[in-house]
Amino acid sequence: MATTGIGFRGWIEACETWGTVEPLLASLRASRLLARGPKAKGAIRAAGLTEEWSPPSESSAEVLDHLLATGVQGLRVAIQLHGEPLPDFTAALRLAGAEVVEVPVYRWTQPEDTAPLDRLIEATTTGGVDAVTFTSAPAAAGLLARARTNGQADALVSALRGDVLAMCVGPVTARPLMAHDIPTVWPGRARIGAQVRKLTEELPNRFPTLDVAGHRLRLRGHAVLIDGAVHTLSPTLMRLMRELARRPGQVRDRAHLLTCLGEDADAHAVETAVARLRTALGDPRIIQTVVKRGYRLALDTFECAATP
């Protein structure tokens, strides 16, 4: 079974280098070839071969169902891996009586310069981004692994379970994230173009535009858009702003807001942070003080009346 186009092409190109491509192609012509999706199918045909079957869903699960339904008892099944093992897939085939040969055509490693990856993790955990896109399962697993190395795994998982959208190209890519109970979204077809379109549909719904104190307000990563103008905030102030915007118009008490400011914050930190936030937003009326209770976003009258 060919799972990725790049992996199948890499297999052929490596054998060309070693001078063994003709025996490989002869063996493949005498075998039943399955392709997980169009890219793998295209690579098979580019090599002058023809696939027997490919699932409409482009999913490994449907390939497995097909193999089990047609019967694999006594067969030798070669699985081209897509950068990571497929233990459940191969175990099911072995239980059905197949001899499974795993073909790890390529592998994923950490980049030599991990600084950009570390900056991404930092931005994600501090509320500096609205979404993180993933185009492969190894990339998703690699991000989580790097966060564990840095001692930021819990913070990263918490962010991806919360305000930061995990946008995957497809369900296979989402699997390492789903193993950590991270909500994931992907398009109907596993294509980067479809992923981008899905992202543009999903993001506006995360934090809708609010009418606050006569302004149009929307949160954006590490900034707030107010009447189209960008107001960049520090990570601490952005966490505070997100908490107020999570339930716009509703009072957030000081004790709850204090949790946004870090473990070392004292009882007066909320008042200080709110004052700094008002200054950064440019209009102190945006955040309303509710005496002896806390603070809230000052939604305009119509929206306040409609807020439960």
* Domain C-terminal end among 167, 189, 206: 206
Statement to judge: residues 78 and 61 lie in one domain: yes
Statement to judge: residues 238 and 185 lie in one domain: no
Statement to judge: residues 89 and 36 lie in one domain: yes
Is residue 308's pLDDT more than 80? no
- The average pLDDT across 193-212 equals 89
**First vs last C-alpha separation in the chain:** 54
pLDDT tens-digit map of 38-62: 889 999 999 999 999 999 877 888 9
* Strand intervals (E) in 172-228: 184-185, 210-212, 215-220, 223-226
- Dist CA 82 CA 148 (whole Å): 23
Would 108 be classed as within a structural domain?
no
0.85 exceeded by pTM:
no
* CATH of residue 290: 1.10.10.10
**Token digits of residue 56:** 């409409």
Statement to judge: residues 123 and 197 lie in one domain: yes
Measured at the CA of 146, the angle between CA 145 and CA 151, to 5 degrees, comes to 95
* Domain C-terminal end among 176, 191, 206: 206
Would 253 be classed as within a structural domain?
yes
- The average pLDDT across 204-233 equals 88
**Token digits of residue 254:** 């000081």
* Strand intervals (E) in the chain: 76-80, 99-103, 131-134, 165-168, 184-185, 210-212, 215-220, 223-226, 229-232, 252-253, 287-290, 294-297
Q: Which long-range contacts (CB under 8 A, 24 or more apart) does 298-306 make?
A: 298/212, 298/213, 299/210, 299/211, 299/212, 299/248, 299/249, 300/211, 300/212, 300/213, 300/214, 302/211, 303/210, 303/211, 303/248, 303/249, 304/249
Would 60 be classed as within a structural domain?
yes
- What is the domain range of residue 33? 5-103
* Domain C-terminal end among 206, 222, 252: 206
Would 32 be classed as within a structural domain?
yes
pLDDT tens-digit map of 63-98: 999 999 999 999 999 999 876 778 889 999 999 999
Length of the chain measured in residues: 308
What single DSSP character describes residue 65?
H
pLDDT tens-digit map of 112-168: 899 999 999 998 998 778 899 999 888 999 999 999 999 999 999 999 998 899 999
User: How many helices (H) and strands (E) would you count in the chain?
Assistant: 14, 12
Is residue 306's pLDDT more than 50? no
Using DSSP's 3-state secondary structure scheme, residue 241 falls into helix
In the predicted model, what is the mean pLDDT of the chain?
89
* CATH of residue 188: 3.40.50.10090
Q: Choose the weakest-confidence range: 137-151, 211-225, 289-303.
A: 289-303
Would 54 be classed as within a structural domain?
yes
Where does the pLDDT of residue 301 fall: very low under 50, low under 70, confident under 90, or very high at 90 and above?
low
Q: Could you give the number of structural domains in the chain?
A: 3
Statement to judge: residues 144 and 99 lie in one domain: no
Using DSSP's 3-state secondary structure scheme, residue 166 falls into strand
pLDDT tens-digit map of 246-294: 888 899 998 888 888 876 777 688 899 999 999 999 999 999 999 989 9
Statement to judge: residues 187 and 220 lie in one domain: no
Would 172 be classed as within a structural domain?
yes
Report how far Cα 302 is from the mean position of its chain's Cα atoms.
Answer: 36
CB 217 within 8 A of CB 303: no
Would 110 be classed as within a structural domain?
no
Amino acid, res. 262: G
Would 109 be classed as within a structural domain?
no
Statement to judge: residues 177 and 194 lie in one domain: yes
Is residue 304's pLDDT more than 50? no
Statement to judge: residues 149 and 95 lie in one domain: no
Statement to judge: residues 64 and 123 lie in one domain: no
Using DSSP's 3-state secondary structure scheme, residue 221 falls into coil
